[in-house]
Amino acid sequence: MGMKILIIATGGTISHEPNEKGILESNEKSHGGGDFVRILNFKKTKLGIDSIESKTILNKDSGNMVMDDWKTIVGEIVANYDDYDAFIVTHGTETMGYATSAVSFALGNLGKPVCFTGSQSAFGVVGSDTVINLDNSLRVLSARRDLVGVFLVFGTQVVSGTRVKKDSEFSYDAFKSSRRFRPLGVVGSSLEFNEEEVSRHLGYLKPYAKTRKDLDVKCDFSNNLVVLSEFPGLQAEMIINIAKSGVKGFILRSYGSGVPNITKKGLGIADLRHAFEYLKDKKIPLVITSQASSGVACMSIYEPSLLALELGAIPAHDMNIESTVAKLSWLLGQCKNQKEIKDAFAKSLRGEIYK
């Protein structure tokens, strides 16, 4: 049985072309979507694909994407859910991991594949990786029709949506699966899949939605949050002043395993205890993640971490920063109180925590 695929174009480098001066500009005629169909159509028969169609919904550099754009992407998938077997979302690389995570959280029981891809080099540039990434997306969709949910196909990697991490501005293998997770699969002259990881990825989506009316859609996101990196000298008063501006959630990228500078007495201008107490009193969620690229915010070893937990800090475990931001933004849009958010962060809802 053949597949019917919709390409949803949102902009990014993959939809750009160089002008006469060599400066990359968006393709104003089609923004990529129509061109992509023309590229792929002659290959569809060999892969058992009946049709490939496209729709351009955004034309933005991914660095300009905002949380309302995630909602637009989700809305387009939902609106076309009954009419297509699979979706390819073309997106810029800079914020790809945020978008894949956000869509993963917003659509809880996807029964169809939503494959994100993009390119490091624009379509009109010699040596561009645009065509190979689109080709490989089709190969994966055709070969593993049981692989539903949100995932990325880029370079040689197939990565679950909540684990997407950009690793290079240069390499055509720009993405990896973050922290303890392995990729879902590897693309080369043939396709190889990590069945344990595929099974883990699929397990979070059951029971799969067969039709639009069965979809679990929750796509409210809040942009009223702040991400801070702790550094030697960060002052509690800085955090408190930001909180007074009306921020509803904080993410602190702390040291090592999530060890903030905090003591029992709150001594010194760089001691963050007073900030933690203020956020707890105001019922503002504070999520702690690790600055270490392979770090895990377990927060169960060192005294400062245990003190932080007593003051209501929420560990992000081994979530990458992209999924941490998307999850907190999503939960702020869904949850009624701080406890609901804390409880949700303790669970792996879409495979974002290695459990």
Residue 332, token pair as written in the block: 């702020």
> CA nearest 250: which of 171, 183, 308, 190?
308
For residues 56 and 37, the answer to whether their CB atoms sit within 8 Å is no
178 has a pLDDT exceeding 90: no
Question: Pairing relation of β-strands 225-229 and 249-254?
Answer: parallel
Of 55, 51, 130, 65, the residue nearest 325 (C-alpha): 65
Residue with token string 């909180």: 243
Mean pLDDT for 152-176 is 96
Whether the predicted pLDDT of 193 surpasses 60:
yes
List the one residue out of 62, 67, 66, 51 whose CA is nearest residue 89. Answer: 62
- pLDDT-derived band at 181 (thresholds 50, 70, 90) equals confident
Does residue 222 carry a pLDDT above 50?
A: yes
Model confidence over 18-65: pLDDT tens digits?
Answer: 666 555 556 544 445 667 787 787 778 788 899 999 999 999 989 999
Domain boundaries in the chain? 3-214, 225-345
**Residue 28 contacts by C-beta under 8 Å, 6 or more apart in sequence?**
none
| Cα 154 → chain centroid | 14
54, amino acid identity: S
pTM given for the model: 0.94
Whether the pLDDT of residue 204 is over 80: the answer is yes
228's tokens: 């801070």
CA distance 286 to 174: 31
- Residue whose token pair is 């992407």: 73
Taking alpha carbons only, the member of 206, 198, 242, 239 closest to residue 224 is: 242
Give the integer Cα–Cα distance in Å for 297 and 240. 23
* The pLDDT value given to residue 21: 57
Q: Is 70 exceeded by the pLDDT of residue 1?
A: no
pLDDT at residue 258 in the model:
83
- Determine how many CB atoms are found less than 10 A away from the CB of residue 319: 28
- Given a cut of 60, is residue 347 above it in pLDDT? yes
pLDDT at 30: 43
Average pLDDT over residues 71-80: 98
Q: Does the structural domain 3-214 have CATH classification 3.40.50.1170?
A: yes
Antiparallel, parallel or unpaired: β 157-160 and 185-187 = antiparallel
180 pLDDT higher than 80: no
Contact 96, 13 (CB under 8 A): no
The two three-digit tokens of residue 176, written as one number: 């990896």
Tell me whether the CATH fold assigned to 3-214 matches the one assigned to 225-345.
yes
User: Is the CA virtual torsion 101, 107, 111, 115 positive or negative?
Assistant: negative
Name the least confident of 222-226, 256-260, 272-276.
Answer: 256-260
Three-state DSSP class for residue 6: strand
Helix, strand, or coil (residue 118): coil
Full DSSP string of 294-317: T--B---SSHHHHHHHHTT-EE-B
Q: What is the pLDDT of residues 294-340, one digit of tens each?
A: 888 888 778 888 999 999 999 999 999 999 999 999 999 999 899 99
pLDDT of residue 24: 56
**Contacts with 45 (C-beta within 8 Å, 6 or more apart), sequence order:** none
Q: Which CATH architecture has domain 225-345?
A: 3-Layer(aba) Sandwich (3.40)
Q: Terminal CA-to-CA distance of the chain, rounded, Å?
A: 35
CA gap 188, 186 in Å, rounded: 7
Write down the mean pLDDT value for the chain: 91
Amino acid at site 150: V
The tens digit of pLDDT for each residue in 106-154 reads: 999 999 999 999 999 887 788 889 989 999 999 999 999 999 999 999 9
Q: What is residue 31's predicted lDDT score, i.e. its pLDDT? A: 47
Query: Which of 69, 8, 20, 97 is closest to 352 using CA atoms?
Result: 97
Which residues, 6 or more positions from 174, have their beta carbon under 8 angstroms from its beta carbon? 93, 120, 154, 155, 166, 167, 168
Please name every residue paired with 186 in a beta bridge, in sequence order, or none if there are none.
Answer: 157, 192
